[in-house]
Structure 1
Amino acid sequence: MRIRPMQRNSPGQALITLAVYAVAAALTSLAEARTWTEAASGRKIEAEMVSSDDKSVTIAVRTGQRFTLPLDRLTAEDQAFVRQNKSSLPQPIGAPPAEKEARAKADRFEAINMSGADAIPSTGTVNQDLAPVDEAIKKFMAEKGIGALTFAITKEGKVLHNFAYGWSDAKLKIPLPIGTKMRIASLTKPVVSAAIHTLVTDGKLKMEDHVFTVLELDKLKEAKGCDERWKKITIQQLLEHKGGWDRDKSGDLTSRGDMIEAMFRIKTEETEPMHVVRYGLTLPLDFEPGERSAYSNYGYILLARVIEKLSQQTLVDYLQTTVAGKSKAHSFSLSASDARDRQPGEVWYCYHPEYPQKQVPLDFHVEARDGAGALACTAADYCRFLEHYWISGEVRDQRRLAYTFDGSLPGVTAICAQRLDGVCYAAIANRRDKVQSEWNEELRSAINAALARTSLK
């Protein structure tokens, strides 16, 4: 996932597939327009070539909208046309220089400047035995330039450690209080899985049920002519990331905000989960459902729709009456893209800094990715969840199992663990390094090494 400027012409994200929906009514008289074709689907769009580089081409339709398309998504004929005409084209036209400069500065993911680990405030009840953990976390924050991090440890239902490190504001003036909620990115998925298992236990759903049937997707116009393999996808396969989508092959379709907005003629902040679902119906699967496993955010957005349809509640409301209620972890809520729309008590996120004006600072709407990574909660409440459910989503029993899970989004580094000794922990930070998620393992290693120097080793 990437943060991009307002112009939204990212070569890595924009796909020709759905541009046709947004502009079909305006494609009758483009001067010097030609037909562009997506190789995989055969879908076409009429547009004029504006500019190009070695990997992409920018085109404009009659309405003035521009789309930047990856060359490898186009037919060989289109790619040849771009190469032949590249030298005669003007340079890409973007936002005005002043605006581009301001947005670029805001999008840099700058590290927080701090004088060192000792300068980072912390809030919580001091447990001297766990002092090595506090030291390790502060050192990690200082090295990475992280402004806020929450961490909790539980064992046998008891909270042993609950700390907040850093600041509750981007100006680094106010210490972060314990009980601060933070977006947990993909740590959302175990919670969604637990909700699905609850529906199965209650007899409202079977693992072998087909999501196409449960959600009555055949009623959607986008389902007409969709990949026939869609009808084979089961709930179990969605849980296990075996639905048929491979983001390494075709990219993460839940991050294609540009094309989803173009398809439905909506703004980023108007995007809802069903827009993402409907968009996915227009694309071919990457492999036969059940054939193999490939991590899929899209599958968990579908699972959230299953939860809402069968419970007749919103995702968060259902969680509060079931999974969160049983765990006594009531801080779970749906995070919002814009800071002004968040519930009180949720942290700021370091795209550094968050934009001071009201706008969606990401290239996707967080709320539209609810089941895949939009929940927020306190670190202690996530540990309470881990005390009652395995990360697989099943209700915990007397077995001794070890699980770990990670989450990563712009502005979020999140990890959790269920250890063989019965210890559970969760750490959530408000920054990650650009588009990478290597910090997850670094943070985990630092915490594990510190715990090995305590009585919890």
Structure 2
Amino acid sequence: MYPSITSLLTCCLSICSVAQAAVIEGRASYENASKIQSYYNVKGSDHAKKAKSLSADGYQIVSLSTYGSPPDVQYAAVWTQQKGNPIEIIYNANKTTYDSWFDSWKAKGYVSTQISATGSRSKAVFAGVMERANVTNWVQVCDSVSPWSYENSTNGVDMAIKGFSMYGTPSDRRYCALGHENVGNQLSTVFYSTTQYLIDFPEVFRSETAKRLWRPSKLFMSDDHIITPQFVDTDVGRWVAKEDLTAAELAKEIKSQKQNGLSPIDLQGGGEGKDTRFAVIFAEHAIPSSRKWTAKGTVSGFSNNADAQAGMDAVMKTWMQKNGVRQAQVAVARNGSVLTERSYTWAESNRAVVKPDDIFLLASVSKMFVHAAIYNLVEAGSLNYSTTVYPLLGYNPVDTRAESITIQHLLDHTGGYDRSVSGDTAFMFRDIAIAQSNGTRAADLRDFIEYMVARPLDSAPGDNYAYSNYGSALLSYVVSNITNTPYMKFLEKNVLDGLNVQLYKTAAKGHANDNIVQESKFTGYDPVHPKSQKMVPGPYGGDGAVKEAVMGAFSLAASASTIAKFIGTHAVSGVGGRAWGAWRDGTVVGARTFAESRGADVDWALTLNTREYLSEEEFDDLRFYKMPFFFEDFPIV
């Protein structure tokens, strides 16, 4: 029987038992790691006793799971020894009892931090934890019929998922979800299943952990062993994840991992009796390591360099910490000479501290190099802006209007290709490969061009402006075709003047040791293997682009210093020499960049290792307000 609401609400203990758990057979484990303790296959009353003892010893609960059918509900939990908040727990509660307990402690300023449910909807048993925590916005929803409905209940506030349960029966699934406001823009992904849709857990796990420095943080499990995984990019040291373990296998695994210095940090159970299975994550630390702020590089050229350095650092520190951005650079040059090159790191110790000469993926800032290459060829008399492109290259487009596309049209994005109409084909290389080779190989730039000449234009050349990544890629092919020189070789010999600009290659293996981690939570189908259904990280082809084919558009890499120096003598936008008052920005999965020629002779550049900050308004505030105000406050002499 459940106790009365009166006895529940007047419970004076910090750990409150609200129902009697049946005595069951089963092995219980109480793992005594140095700072982490875990247990599983225990009944509710034993869970309460352990919780009371561990709380008294300074432990905080970091993982809670209920599993099995009433009255044989069992518990698994992980606790870590650390300073924490006063807590209240509940176990073996039906929904009415749980809701009353929840509302009571919420009214007292407590925040839900753990939620777990098991059993059918009509007989569901709930357990949870609430803490007196400093969390302003948080939302918990239970008994929902769709896991995705949670997003509609948060009033537009971005939430980081802290707890999740899928309970009920296969024909009547129910879901509990708990989230706290995502202060600091922590990146994470959660993959939900329903009766109609089951994720491919092994493939999801493989693709998510292929993202550099990503790891599983939770492996929520239903009683029919469906895992709902959550992944994050925080650091807990070395980690290992296991699933589909029996109790005996779990006990053996805990012992084995302990010898390797790893302890459970998340432990989830599902099923009952001999059908009980466990999913567990082991790691060196239960609590993710904190981030450290580091600024490196030199500041010169200002009327007061010390104050200018402090001012620039303050702008970047405030913005990066608010938006969760880990790696960035700012550089300032005058007349092509770098005055200031500053690198910023807001990251855990498992990531490199950014150096001023580290290279970042430039996204569309890459386009200024193909513009400079075209200008070089025009000045050398090898090309005219009025040259028609396809006749020059020997192509006969299906849409005869394309025969009149000129070099100038491509530079001006007026060639007749409109991604708002036909999609941005620079991110459709799987489709291109299927069309050109039946998917037997990855598509290259030549395939890209042949694919496009077989398609109709979206408008007549010269009629409309429409930003075109294809047009810039086509310009790079013009450069290599008429000079009989690979595009990057031509840049090195004729444009870069010794500056370090590189191709950002598609394959992830080429970036395993990069200092700069181009971060994104997104994955997508691999364009390099067009018939494969495997997903790859967004920066490594998951955005649909083969970077070797779009060098003229968005796949070069350089430092902010290189960009600031380059635009001192080359147009940041358009063609020709330095373009006073002009700017260019770049955005692609895993990167955001900006470059501007200010006033008569000052140029500056900004590189970020991600575009997944809070909003585009935040980025606009940095580039159009915060940094310009900085330049006004600290003039260059």
Scaled by the length of structure 1, the TM-score of the pair is 0.69
Partners of 2:196 and 2:435 in 1: how far apart? Answer: 23
CA distance, structure 1, for counterparts of residue 510 and residue 446 of structure 2 = 20
Is the contact made by 2:358 and 2:515 (CA closer than 8 Å) also made in structure 1? yes
Higher helix residue share: 1
> Where in structure 2 are the equivalents of 1:108-123 lying within 5 Å?
119-123=292-296
2:408 corresponds to which of 221, 230, 236: 236
* Structure-to-structure mapping, 1:369-380, within 5 angstroms: 369-380=550-561
The answer to whether the 8 A contact 2:476-2:552 is kept is: yes
Corresponding residue for residue 145 of structure 1: 324
Size of the aligned set, in residue pairs, is: 355
Asked if 1 retains the 8 angstrom alpha-carbon contact of 2:404 and 2:461, the reply is: yes
Q: How many angstroms does 1:347 deviate by?
A: 2.4
Q: Distance in 2 between matches of 1:170 and 1:370?
A: 32
Structure 2: distance between partners of 1:306 and 1:346: 33
Q: Aligned match of 2:388 in 195, 210, 214? A: 210
Given that 1:155 and 1:423 are in contact with CA atoms closer than 8 Å, whether structure 2 keeps it comes out as: yes
Q: Give the corresponding residue for 2:629.
A: 449
Shift of 1:156: 2.1
- Equivalent position SS for 2:433: helix
Alignment partner, residue 340 of structure 2: 161
CA contact 1:109–1:434 (8 Å) conserved in 2: no
Question: What residue number does 2:201 align with?
Answer: 97
Q: 1:173 to 1:104 in 2, by over 3 A?
A: closer
The letter of the residue matching 2:432 is: I
Aligned mates of 1:423, 1:184 — CA distance in 2: 20
Q: Give, in whole Å, the separation in 2 of the partners of 1:447 and 1:159.
A: 17
Distance 1:230 1:135 in 2: 51
Contact 2:430 2:443 in 1 (8 A): no
Once residues 293 and 329 of structure 2 are traced to their aligned partners in structure 1, the CA distance between those partners, rounded to angstroms, is: 13
Q: 1:277 aligns with which of 449, 474, 481?
A: 449
- Counterpart-to-counterpart distance in 2, 1:317 and 1:435: 38
Aligned pairs (5 A) from 1:194-273: 194-218=372-396, 223=397, 226-265=398-437, 270-273=442-445
The residue type paired with residue 455 of structure 1 is P
- 1:300 is aligned to 472
Secondary structure in structure 1 of the residue aligned to 2:568:
helix
Answer whether contact 1:147 1:172 (CA < 8 A) is retained: no
Q: What SS does structure 2 have at the residue aligned with 1:371?
A: coil
**What SS does the aligned partner of 1:324 have?**
coil
Bigger shift: residues 127-136 or 226-235: 127-136
- What is the CA–CA distance in structure 1 between the aligned matches of 2:371 and 2:198, rounded to whole Å? 42
Shift of 1:161: 0.7
Displacement of 1:382 after TM fit?
0.9
Listed one character per residue, the Cα deviations across residues 125-156 of structure 1 (whole Å, up to 9, x for unaligned) are 25422321221112221111112112110012
Who is 1:336 aligned against?
A: 505
TM-score normalized with structure 2 length = 0.51
- Residue pair 2:332, 2:561 contacting (<8 A) in 1 also: yes
Preserved contact between residue 298 and residue 372 of structure 1 (Cα < 8 Å):
yes
Q: Any conservation in 2 of the 1:337–1:362 contact (CA below 8 Å)?
A: no
Amino acid at match of 1:332: V
Could you tell me whether the CA contact under 8 Å between 1:130 and 1:454 is conserved in 2? Answer: no
Report the residue type matching 1:433 in the other structure. E
- Superposed displacement of residue 456, structure 1: 3.4
Q: SS of the residue aligned with 2:338?
A: strand
Partner Cα distance (1:402, 1:363) in 2: 34
Of 108-117 and 134-143, deviating more is 108-117
| Contiguous gaps of at least 5 residues in structure 1 | 1-89
- What is the one-letter code of the residue matched to 1:145? G
Matched, 1:124 2:303: no
Shift of 1:104: 5.8
Match of 2:487 among 312, 315, 337: 315
1:359-398 paired onto structure 2 within 5 Å = 360-396=541-577
Residue number in structure 2 paired with 1:23? none
Q: Which has the higher contact order (CA 8 A, sep 6+)?
A: 1
Aligned to 1:405: 584
| Paired residue secondary structure (2:549) | helix
Task: Say what the alpha-carbon RMSD is for the aligned residues.
Answer: 3.5
Q: SS of the counterpart of 2:585?
A: strand
Aligned-partner Cα distance in 2 for 1:258–1:376: 24
Between stretches 268-277 and 143-152, larger displacement belongs to 268-277
Q: Distance in 2 between matches of 1:171 and 1:338?
A: 25
Which residue does the alignment assign to 1:65? none
Q: Could you say if the C-alpha distance between residues 456 and 351 of structure 1 is closer, same or farther in structure 2, counting changes exceeding 3 Å?
A: same
How much does 1:311 deviate?
Answer: 1.6
Paired residues of 2:508 and 2:540 also in contact (CA < 8 A): no
* 1:92 to 1:455, Cα distance in 2 relative to 1, 3 A: same
Aligned mates of 1:432, 1:406 — CA distance in 2: 12
Higher strand share: 2
Q: Determine the structure 2 residue equivalent to 1:43.
A: none
Confirm whether residue 186 of structure 1 aligns to residue 290 of structure 2: no
Would the alpha carbon gap of residues 101 and 343 (structure 1) be closer, same or farther in structure 2, given more than 3 Å must change?
A: closer
On the 8 A contact 2:333/2:604 being kept in 1, the answer is: yes
CA distance in 1, matches of 2:356, 2:565: 15
For residue 40 of structure 1, what is the aligned residue in structure 2? none
CA 1:243–1:439: 2 relative to 1, 3 Å: farther
Whole-Å separation in 1 of the counterparts to 2:475 and 2:413: 11
Q: Contact conserved, 2:416 with 2:459, CA < 8 A, in 1?
A: yes
SS at match of 1:406: strand
| Inter-partner Cα distance in structure 1 for 2:458 and 2:361 | 30
The CA deviation at 1:344 is 7.9
- The DSSP-based 3-state class of the residue aligned with 1:123 is strand
Superposition deviation, residue 271 in structure 1:
2.9
Displacement, 1:310?
1.4
Distance 2:512 2:371 in 1: 24
> What whole-Å deviation, never above 9, does each CA across 1:4-45 have from its counterpart, x for those lacking one?
xxxxxxxxxxxxxxxxxxxxxxxxxxxxxxxxxxxxxxxxxx
Task: Give 1:199 shift.
Answer: 0.3
- In 1, Cα distance between the equivalents of 2:403 and 2:198? 42
Check the 8 A contact 1:151/1:427 in 2, yes or no. yes
Deviation string 1:94-125 (CA, Å, 9 cap, x unpaired) is 862332355468599968799999x3212112
Q: Which runs of 5+ in 2 are unaligned?
A: 1-193, 215-229, 236-287, 300-304, 524-535
CA contact (8 A) 1:416 1:426 kept: yes
> What letter matches 1:385 in structure 2?
F
1:430-445 equivalences in 2 (<5 Å): 430-433=609-612, 440-444=619-623, 445=625
Q: Distance in 1 between matches of 2:296 and 2:496?
A: 25
Change over 3 Å in CA distance of 1:433–1:192 after alignment to 2: same
CA distance in 2, matches of 1:344, 1:112: 18
**Which deviates more, 106-115 or 93-102?**
106-115
Deviation at 1:443, TM superposition (A): 2.8
Q: CA deviation at 1:392?
A: 3.2
For the 8 Å contact 1:109–1:352, the answer to whether it is kept is no
Counterpart in the other structure of 1:347: 516
